[in-house]
């Protein structure tokens, strides 16, 4: 070999050795290179890293030294990824499946989105997978079943959908399984009972349905079981009550029913948390619960438990007891006194005691002052009499006190001012009298104070100025008087909701009210306040609801109201306000309810913004106004020369395209129809006005009770009063729908040529002095051609016929005009009348409609969709009234079924109007036999 060749060979060997010695470790072995590339792909999928957690992931250090990465010592392969609580966002790269030595993947408490990659199923060594509290969506990957070494699987707090995979039955080593707070559906798989090592299981907060599998009773190592907040039904399988290791059992907020085993406390000796609230359990609470001596929390709220409450002797660790909304008492005896005495002798650790709605009678026992650890106490909604004991002032740890809706009398004890930690106080709906004690201002932590619906006298204590944490203050429906104290309206205030309505407050509105910068809702209605509306109200930028109705305010609406950009509801009715209605009200972007009725406004009604929708604005009682509230017309109230006869005059807006056609259509329709449940036309006019412009108008008989929508929108679901004169009773609503049905039956079945109304909705239903309903506004009506009359249909012109929410869905697709379209609108109208909810309400979104809202509630949850103002609460319900209630609810179910049958999607599947009429008359006959059925006893 020549010297030159030898020298060349030596140089190559030297450089090769140098290169190999300085090459980084990830490239030295194929496995390391795979892990390195997988981690880089994972980093590339992370789009948000505000804490700069992955900045150490660079070529200057070995990947085993990167933040959140743990490697095995022998092979330098990734065995653990821990990104928990690092605020990372983005997707999880499918390359995660290449980390074949990975044993733990901890990504919880971040913002990862997208699907969980199915490549995770390639991680056969994986033991811990925790992806909880992220934003993962889609279904749970079935391939995770290949991770047969999994011990912990946590996918809770995400947006996962679909069913729990059947393939997961291979994960027999699981000890901790949690998928709570997702959107999973279907039944809980029975195979989970084969996971013999399972210690913790939580399926809480999903949409699981069906029965709880008996097989869960085979999990003898189980200490934690939560199936709460699903749609499960049936009884709790008896084998579950034999799981002696069980420490936590939560099945609250389902549809479970049945009795609890008499020996429950003996078979579950380790039980610490037992939560079965909001179900349908019945019978007595077993006295054997006292044998579960480790019990700390017992929540049986909202069930059907009856009879005496067990003594709870031996439960000296009990710190939470919730028995609210169970008919445990008889409304007369001293059940509450004896129960509190037993508890006082049984447990010294009690911190929360909730006994609302249990039908307890008697008085509040003074031994309440001995529960020194108590932080929360409620006996609301019972039949408790007498005074509020001053001993409540001894409960220095109390944070929550709820005594509302009883029959308590006397004064509010000044000793309550000693409760320095109290943040919630509700004494509403009693018979309390006297003045509000000034000591109430000493409760420095108070955030919510409710004293409404009592008989309190005097003025508002100025000491409330010191309650700087107060968020909600409600003193409505009392006998309070005097000026509103300006001292409590200061810039340091945290007030969000303020309600002083229905008292006897006088004087002007303090200008200091503009200092309540956090205020969202202000209600000062039904007082005797006077003077001008304060300009400073315009400073309340966050205000959404303002009600100053039924006072003596005068002058103009301040121009500063234009700054109330968040306002949704404004009620200035029944005052002495004057001037023109400001046009800027039409520019408030969120305003959807405006009541200016019964003032002295004059001039023309604005036409923009909210004024375009007549159902959202009330202007009656302003006799100097002109114009107002339709697409093709303005409606005015007039009076004939006799000075006695009122009329309604509909003047067409001829500058609006289609107005003249609407005029001609309505005149033609009303010329050929006559019925007691249709509006009566007196005359029509087609002429020239004083300026030489075309003039068209229709004169109708005046309906003194206005349109139906005003009655429906006037109700308040939060009202505690059921004698609102603007509230329609149950029988009145039935009569109204029968009137509308009669009108529709006449139009569809008793004319020579069938007439389709095309715009049936509450604002087109007018009520006379006897609340008889009359269908009006035939501007969109169509006579069906004779050749088509047998099928009651004709081809539609372009565009939706009617109003969104009420118009039949087939019209939106250009389908034929037909009587079926009116039936659909009628069905929606009927559902609105008995639920009090408009089909265009904000709650109806993401596929939820008024039709579906009612349909899914029937029959068992009908009370959840009925207009709340049709109920009244009776503490001493008799067996007769309860029978009446059940019959009334059956009638309501039948009514709702009619509404649903009329508003189904397919036109020919809708109910025939003649059959509707027969069923409604049958329902009315049933109700009339019951006597006084204005409201439903509850």
**Which positions ≥6 away from 209 have C-beta within 8 Å?**
185, 186, 187, 230, 231, 232, 233
Assigned token pair, 704: 């003194």
Peptide bond into 869 cis (omega under 30): no
Q: Contact at 8 Å (CB) between 130 and 150?
A: no
- Phi and psi for 107 in degrees, rounded to 5? -120, 15
> Beta partners for 265?
none
Residue 759: active-site member: yes
Element (H, E) at 297: strand 297-299
Q: Where are the beta strands (DSSP E) in 784-857?
A: 793-794, 817-818
Element (H, E) at 94: none
DSSP 765-800: EEE-TT--EEE---TT-EEPPGGGTTTTEEPPPSS-
Residue with token string 């981690």: 39
Rounded Cα gap, residues 337 and 518, in angstroms: 42
Rounded Cα gap, residues 497 and 470, in angstroms: 9
Rounded Cα gap, residues 161 and 155, in angstroms: 12
- Phi and psi for 320 in degrees, rounded to 5? -135, 125
- Phi and psi for 731 in degrees, rounded to 5? -70, -35
Q: Contact at 8 Å (CB) between 251 and 240?
A: no
Q: Where are the beta strands (DSSP E) in 653-704?
A: 681-688, 694-701
Q: Mapped to the 3 state alphabet, what secondary structure does 365-412 carry?
A: CHHHHHCCCCCEEECCCCCCECCCCHHHHHCCCCCEEECCCCCCCCCC
Q: Nearest to residue 606, comparing CAs of 267, 598, 391, 596?
A: 596
Q: How many CB atoms lie within 10 A of CB 926?
A: 15
Element (H, E) at 537: none
User: Of these residues, 335, 709, 759, 867, which one is catalytic?
Assistant: 759
Element (H, E) at 44: helix 30-44
Length reported for the chain: 938
Q: How many helices (H) and strands (E) does the chain have?
A: 11, 54
- What does the DSSP 8-state code read for residue 169? G
Which positions are catalytic?
759
């Amino acid at each position: 070999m020549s010297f030159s060749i030898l020298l060349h060979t030596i140089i190559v060997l030297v450089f090769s050795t140098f290169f190999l010695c300085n090459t980084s470790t990830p490239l030295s072995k194929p496995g390391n290179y795979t892990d390195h590339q997988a981690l880089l792909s994972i980093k590339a999928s992370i789009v948000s890293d505000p804490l700069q957690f992955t900045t150490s992931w660079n070529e200057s250090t070995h990947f085993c030294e990167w933040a959140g990465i743990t490697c095995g010592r022998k092979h330098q392969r990734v065995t653990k990824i821990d990104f928990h609580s690092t605020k990372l966002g983005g997707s999880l790269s499918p390359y995660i499946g290449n980390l074949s030595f990975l044993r733990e993947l901890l990504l919880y408490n971040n913002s990862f989105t997208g699907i969980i990659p199915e490549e995770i199923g390639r991680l056969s060594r994986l033991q811990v997978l925790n992806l909880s509290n992220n934003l993962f969506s889609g279904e749970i990957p079935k391939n995770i079943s290949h991770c047969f070494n999994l011990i912990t699987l946590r996918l809770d707090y995400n947006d996962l959908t679909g069913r729990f995979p059947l393939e997961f039955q291979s994960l027999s080593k699981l000890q901790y399984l949690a998928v709570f707070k997702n959107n999973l559906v279907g039944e809980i798989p029975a195979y989970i009972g084969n996971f013999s090592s399972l210690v913790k299981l939580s399926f809480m907060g999903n949409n699981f349905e069906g029965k709880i599998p008996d097989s869960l009773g085979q999990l003898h190592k189980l200490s934690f079981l939560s199936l709460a907040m699903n749609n499960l039904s049936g009884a709790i399988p008896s084998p579950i009550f034999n799981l002696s290791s069980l420490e936590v059992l939560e099945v609250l907020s389902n549809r479970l029913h049945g009795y609890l085993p008499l020996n429950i406390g003996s078979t579950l000796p380790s039980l610490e948390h037992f939560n079965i609230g909001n179900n349908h359990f019945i019978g007595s609470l077993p006295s054997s619960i006292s044998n579960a001596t480790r019990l700390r929390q017992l929540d049986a709220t909202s069930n059907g438990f009856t009879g005496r409450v067990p003594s709870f002797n031996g439960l000296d660790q009990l710190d939470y007891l919730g028995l609210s909304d169970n008919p445990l008492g008889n409304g007369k005896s001293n059940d509450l006194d004896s129960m509190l005495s037993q508890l006082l002798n049984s447990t010294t650790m009690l911190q929360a005691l909730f006994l609302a709605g249990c039908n307890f009678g008697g008085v509040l026992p003074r031994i309440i002052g001995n529960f020194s650890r108590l932080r929360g106490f409620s006996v609301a909604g019972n039949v408790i009499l007498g005074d509020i004991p001053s001993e409540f002032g001894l409960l220095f740890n109390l944070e929550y006190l709820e005594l509302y809706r009883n029959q308590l009398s006397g004064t509010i004890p000044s000793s309550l001012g000693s409760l320095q930690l109290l943040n919630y106080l509700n004494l509403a709906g009693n018979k309390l009298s006297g003045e509000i004690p000034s000591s109430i201002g000493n409760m420095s932590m108070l955030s919510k104070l409710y004293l409404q619906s009592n008989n309190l006298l005097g003025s508002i204590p100025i000491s409330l100025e010191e309650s700087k944490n107060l968020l909600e203050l409600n003193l409505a429906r009392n006998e309070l008087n005097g000026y509103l104290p300006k001292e409590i309206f200061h810039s340091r205030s945290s007030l969000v909701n303020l309600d002083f309505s229905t008292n006897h407050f006088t004087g002007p509105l303090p200008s200091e009210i503009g200092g309540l910068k956090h205020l969202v809702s202000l209600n000062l209605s039904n007082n005797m306040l006077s003077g001008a509306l304060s300009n400073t109200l315009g400073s309340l930028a966050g205000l959404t609801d303002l009600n100053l109705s039924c006072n003596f305010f005068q002058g103009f609406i301040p121009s500063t109201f234009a700054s109330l950009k968040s306002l949704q509801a404004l009620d200035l009715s029944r005052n002495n306000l004057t001037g023109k209605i400001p046009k800027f009200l039409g520019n408030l972007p969120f305003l959807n309810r405006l009541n200016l009725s019964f003032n002295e406004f004059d001039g023309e009604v604005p036409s923009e913004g909210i004024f375009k929708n007549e159902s959202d604005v009330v202007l009656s009682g302003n006799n100097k106004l002109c114009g107002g509230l339709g697409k093709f017309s303005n409606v005015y109230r007039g009076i004939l020369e006799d000075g006695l006869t009122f009329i309604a005059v509909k003047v067409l807006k001829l500058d609006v395209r289609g107005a003249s056609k609407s005029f001609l259509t309505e005149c033609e329709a009303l010329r050929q129809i006559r019925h007691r449940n249709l509006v009566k036309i007196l005359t029509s006019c087609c002429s020239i006005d004083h300026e030489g412009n075309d003039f068209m108008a229709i004169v109708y008989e005046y309906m003194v009770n206005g349109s139906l929508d005003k009655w429906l929108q006037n109700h308040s679901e939060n009202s505690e009063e059921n004698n609102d004169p603007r509230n329609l009773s149950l029988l009145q609503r039935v009569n109204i729908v029968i009137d509308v049905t009669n009108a529709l039956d006449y139009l569809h079945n008793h004319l020579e040529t069938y007439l389709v109304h095309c715009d049936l909705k509450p604002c087109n239903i007018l009520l006379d002095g006897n609340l008889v309903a009359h269908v009006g506004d035939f501007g969109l009506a169509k006579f069906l051609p004779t050749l088509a009359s047998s099928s009651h249909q004709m081809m539609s012109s372009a565009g939706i016929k009617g109003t969104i929410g009420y118009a039949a869905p087939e019209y939106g697709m250009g389908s034929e005009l037909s009587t079926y379209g009116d039936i659909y609108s009628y069905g929606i109208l009927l559902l609105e009348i008995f639920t009090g909810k408009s089909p265009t309400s904000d709650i109806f979104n993401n596929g939820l409609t008024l039709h579906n809202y009612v349909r899914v509630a029937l029959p068992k949850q009908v009370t959840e969709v009925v207009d709340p103002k049709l109920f009244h609460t009776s503490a001493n319900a008799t067996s007769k009234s309860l029978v009446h209630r059940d019959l009334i609810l059956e009638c309501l179910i039948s009514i709702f079924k009619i509404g649903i049958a009329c508003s189904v999607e397919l036109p020919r599947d809708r109910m025939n109007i003649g059959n509707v009429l027969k069923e409604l008359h049958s329902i009315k006959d049933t109700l009339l036999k019951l006597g006084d059925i204005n409201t439903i006893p509850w």
